[in-house]
Every structure is written in structure tokens, then in C-alpha cells.
Structure 1
Amino acid sequence: MRRDRQVLVFDADDTLWENNIRFERAIEAFLDQVVPPAPDRAAARAALDVIEAANAATHGYGAQVFLRSLGECFEQLHRRPATAAELAGFAALAATITTAEVELLPGVAETLASLAERHQLLLLTKGDRAEQQAKVDASGLAGLFAAVHIVPEKDVVVYRRLAEQHTLTPERTWMVGNSPKSDILPARLAGLNAVFIPHQHTWVLENDAELDPHDGGVLQLAAFAELGEHF
């Protein structure tokens, strides 16, 4: 049965449009350049993951932080700073993340338009404000949301603040996203319901938390379009 008159809060990256696959492609190209002197490709990727996690905690997200991580990883693997030419190559890889057109995931545009007729929709995305706003603008979806929130991080405090700001009723509010770490678990800790829609290219650092299979407040769907069957 469809739930009527709910508040649906949507994640953006890898929930509404493709995002991490761009990073993965850039990383593969980076590894093509740095692996020969490294022990092996898996070890190089593991080193980059550790560096990205540290930089995300300190500097946040986005292309510039990603570029910083590439440079630090290169220096760690090669035991020397990258040259100007090498840094320029890394910058070109990082630029591919922000220059490509926004690619909506299947069923997103039509499903959101239908949901907006019956529910209040909000957008909550984290990352670099300018980069995220550019994607929101390019997506053509902004007009479907009652409000768009771009935050540095998504944790339980952010969800509680969102609920207070919009006077949300927790039992009628659902966070929809692909990340257990940023979308599902902190929303549940804040007392909200959640809809988990896995994405095969979810960033490893966003996918390293496990959901409780017995949590009745989490609805798991296989595809975005299935939202229309429940809301």
C-alpha cells in the first residue's frame, strides 16, 4: 500500500545521478600511471583509500580534495613529490569529475515528478557547496524540492537540525539514499525512517557500515522507480 502525505528527503550523488563512477574512472587512470613502481595495484588503491578517508575527515569532499589525495598518494608510493607535469596530469583527472554532464539514474526524473504531486520532497546532499549546487542546477530537478540543503557532512546532528527546521514528523519522514553511513544510519539515529537503494558504485568509504536487517524503519528497494509503489 502507498503511504500518503509523507516527507521524502533525498540524497543526491548516486541516488539521483551518477557520481562515484567518475571518481572510479579517474582513479583507474591514476593507478595506470603510478602502479609500476608500487608493490601492486591493490596495494596502491588501498593506500589511496586510507588517504582519501583522512582528507575527507579533515578537508571534506569534492574535486580539490580528491586532487590533494592523488598527490599525497603519489608521493607516498614513489617516495618523492610529484613534478609539475605530473601534478598537471592529476589535475586533469580531477577535472573530469566536475566537467561531465549530470547523468540521472534510471527512473529518477519521472518518479520524482510523480512523488512531488503527493508528498513534500527535500534534497539533502553533502560535499563542496559550489560543486553540489552546480549539479543540482544542471539536473533540472531543483524545482521539485521544497528546499535544497548542501552540508559539509551528514550525521545525526544534521538530520535532527533538518527535522527541527522543517518541523518534520519523524514517523512520516523518510531519508532516501544509497549510503548506509551517511543516509540510512544517521537518519535512523535521528528518529527518521529510511529507504535504502543500493548503488553498485557506491564509494567504499560510504559503504563500510552494515544495516540492521531487522530494522522495520528501513525499507530496501532495488531501483529508484520502486518508490512509486510505496509512496
Structure 2
Amino acid sequence: MELKSRFPARQTLLIDADDTLWENNIYFERAIAAFISCLDHKEYSPAEVRVQLNQVERETILSHGYGVSSFRQSLITCFERLSHEHFTESKRELVSSFAQSIIDQEIELLPDVAETLEELASRHRLILVTKGNQAEQIDKFQRSGLREHFTAIEIPREKDPQAYFAICAKHELSPNTTWMIGNSPRSDINPALLAGLHAVLVHHPHTWALEHEEIDEAPLGQHFLELTSFAALAEHF
């Protein structure tokens, strides 16, 4: 028996990209593991080095934004701060190569993403909403093979309530029929709820630590769903 959608057709679904449609953070985690091994700090444990790197990343984001180039700068800065050895050009190239390994990755769609998007697009309007380096995000989107399912792509510098207000104004979206769907409480869920939208958290086991945050309670009249898989969206939309 066909499962009827809970919400009516012609909703607008704003959908995150990294770690919602395709794998992303696992590549950064591998690069970080290689970096920590290379640093081989004699005083800090790997966990303590990671704490230092997280702080450097927070600082770098403010000046360089998101993306691999920002991450590369974070690795270099962290190495310079923590290493007792001279930072030679060859060592700089090695550290930079950890970031380059992320760019060299093929796009790996998460399970059932392509099929689910095709089904959702038959009933709803889909807009990709992803923060980060614009050139990097557009390149990944083009290589993903998912372009046909989306009517537009938006790449704000940061996903905050103002960004969601701007997207809704630009595309003439009604908040009561607009949903933000993604894996990040900090970027996809809480600011969307603050902007008056509905939200769906699609859990990913390796969501970036800097995107973790307690989820706010949905205001009266707004919906919040938690799903364990992207495919489950078709049961609700």
C-alpha cells in the first residue's frame, strides 16, 4: 500500500549539501588524523591537539570563511603554534597536502539520496542551501549529478537567521510552507527555526564538532522533525 505524505504537496524544501546529500566531514577527519600524526606532539595528546585545532579553526573561519582553503590555513597555523621544530617549506607542503586530499575526493552520495530527491522533486520545490567557499560548493554540486532536482542554489557565507530571511525574500517563500533540512543543529536547525521556518534534522554520525549545538524547541506553529536517514523524508513529504 502506498504511504501517503503527511504534509501536502508544493512545500519548499531548503536542503543542505555537505553530510546531508554527500559525505564531507569524514574526509576532513582523515586529514586531521594525518596532521596529528605528522605533528607527533611530545607534550599534547592527540585529543589535546584536536582541541587546539578546533580553536584555530574557529579563528580562521572569521577571516577566511569555510572550505578547504580555510582548513588548510588552520592546519598551517596550528602546526606553527604547536610544533617546536622549524617549519620548513617541505613540511609546509606536507601539511598542505592533507587539505588537498579532501579536494581530490570523488563525490560520494549518502544512501538513497538520488532516488529520494527525485521523488521529493516531483511534489515539492527543492533549493540547495549550503554555506562555504562558493567555488568549492558549486564544483561539488555540479559533480554530484543532482542538479536536475533543484530549482536554485544558495551559498550564504553563514547560515544564520538573516541568511534564511534573505533566501525567503529572494525566492518569495512563505515560512509556513518552507523547511530547512540538514544535519547541523547550529547551521540548519536553530537559525531556521529562529527565522520562522520548519526544520528537519537528518542525523549523520560524523557531523563536524563545530556544528554541534543543543536544539531549540520549535516555536508554536512550527514543525521540527528528527530523522535517521535521508530516505525517510519521502515518508513525510
TM interval, short-chain normalised: over 0.9
Q: Find the counterpart in structure 1 of residue 234 from structure 2.
A: 228
**Aligned match for 2:108, one of 96, 103, 119:** 103
1:189, 1:217 → 2: CA distance? 12
The answer as to 2:185 corresponding to 1:141 is no
Give a deviation string over 1:35-79, Cα, whole Å, max 9, x none.
333421111111000000111122101111111111111111114
Shift in alpha-carbon separation, 1:214–1:122, aligned structure 2, 3 A: closer
2:157, 2:43 → 1: CA distance? 33
Q: Find the counterpart in structure 2 of residue 23 from structure 1.
A: 28
Give a deviation string over 1:178-212, Cα, whole Å, max 9, x none.
001111011111100000011111110011x1013
Structure 1 contact 6–172 (Cα < 8 Å) conserved: yes
Letter of the 1:152 partner, please give it: R
- Residue pairs, 1:212-227, within 5 angstroms: 212=216, 217-227=223-233
Q: Find the counterpart in structure 1 of residue 215 from structure 2.
A: 211
Letter of the 1:135 partner, please give it: K
Shift in alpha-carbon separation, 1:122–1:71, aligned structure 2, 3 A: same
How big is the shift at 1:2? 2.4
User: TM-score w.r.t. structure 1 length?
Assistant: 0.96
Letter of the 2:216 partner, please give it: D
**Aligned match for 2:160, one of 149, 155, 158:** 155
Q: Find the counterpart in structure 1 of residue 169 from structure 2.
A: 164
2:43, 2:207 → 1: CA distance? 26
Structure 1 contact 111–227 (Cα < 8 Å) conserved: yes
Structure 1 contact 195–220 (Cα < 8 Å) conserved: yes
2:165, 2:85 → 1: CA distance? 45
The answer as to 2:95 corresponding to 1:84 is no
5+ residue gaps, structure 2: none
Structure 1 contact 37–78 (Cα < 8 Å) conserved: no
Give 4+ residue runs of structure 1 displaced > 4 Å after superposition. 213-216
2:154, 2:120 → 1: CA distance? 19
User: TM-score w.r.t. structure 2 length?
Assistant: 0.93
2:13, 2:34 → 1: CA distance? 37
- For the aligned residue pairs, the C-alpha RMSD in angstroms reads 1.3
Q: Find the counterpart in structure 2 of residue 3 from structure 1.
A: 7
Tell me which moved more, 139-148 or 211-220. 211-220
1:68, 1:124 → 2: CA distance? 25
**Aligned match for 1:178, one of 166, 180, 183:** 183
Identity %: 48
2:43, 2:129 → 1: CA distance? 39
Tell me which moved more, 110-119 or 80-89. 80-89
5+ residue gaps, structure 1: none
1:146, 1:9 → 2: CA distance? 10
Letter of the 2:227 partner, please give it: L
2:190, 2:234 → 1: CA distance? 23
Tell me which moved more, 158-167 or 58-67. 58-67
Partner-residue secondary structure (3-state), 1:229:
helix
Letter of the 2:134 partner, please give it: R
1:81, 1:124 → 2: CA distance? 42
Shift in alpha-carbon separation, 1:93–1:114, aligned structure 2, 3 A: same
